[in-house]
Amino acid sequence: MERLAPDGVRARTAGLAALLVDAVDGGASVGFLAPLDPAEAAAWWSRAAEETAGGVRDVWAAHDGDGRLTGAVTLARTTTANGRHRGEIARLLVHRAARGRGLGRRLLAAAEAHAAATGLTLLVLDTQTGSPAERLYRSAGWTETGTIPDYAADPAGGLRPTTLFHKRLP
């Protein structure tokens, strides 16, 4: 696993886009509808690279022993003056072929540790209620803040509730 500099995100845009397409195709509610056009996924990662260059997003990528991209997570920093102490975990993605091996937990832990080391004291995230990700966040010590009905469409377009979580950092 590695934290990517902006050029690293740019160099891996195609792989990151394929990972995002795999997640959406697998039913992950991560802001996109299925079928996700690879060009749309690549455009999202290109914007993420620019946000990384601007210091408002950090990106981690994980690879298997053969160098294939198997997971990624981003940490977005709040840019408002009254929110500089907090960040958001966004786009925690694990390729369907790599799930069930603790990779999501390791990616989450890397982002949390970096957030704490860089002075953030509060993290937030949201996930589809009842999803496997929700169980991961609970088991990783995140606190449920509340649930919003019909907050976001799942990849098939159906409205689903979203659970908000927060975690205080030391």
Instruction: Report CA-CA distances (Å) from 19 to 36, 83, 84.
Output: 11, 30, 30
- Chain segment 7-49, per-residue pLDDT in tens: 999 999 999 999 999 999 999 999 999 999 999 999 999 999 9
DSSP 1: -
Model confidence over 83-123: pLDDT tens digits?
999 999 999 999 999 999 999 999 999 999 999 999 999 99
pLDDT at 165: 98
Whole-angstrom Cα distance, residue 125 to residue 73?
12
Q: How confident is the model at residue 168 (pLDDT cuts 50, 70, 90)?
A: very high
Q: Is the dihedral of CA 125, 122, 5, 62 positive or negative?
A: negative
| CA torsion through residues 53, 58, 134, 19, sign | positive
Q: Can you tell me the mean pLDDT for 56-83?
A: 96
pLDDT at 140 (0 to 100): 98
Tell me: the pLDDT tens digits for 115-145? 999 999 999 999 999 999 999 999 999 999 9
Average pLDDT over residues 143-154: 97
Nearest-CA neighbor of 108 among 57, 152, 142? 142
Q: What is the pLDDT of residue 94?
A: 97
Amino acid 9: pLDDT = 98
**Two tokens, residue 34:** 């299925």
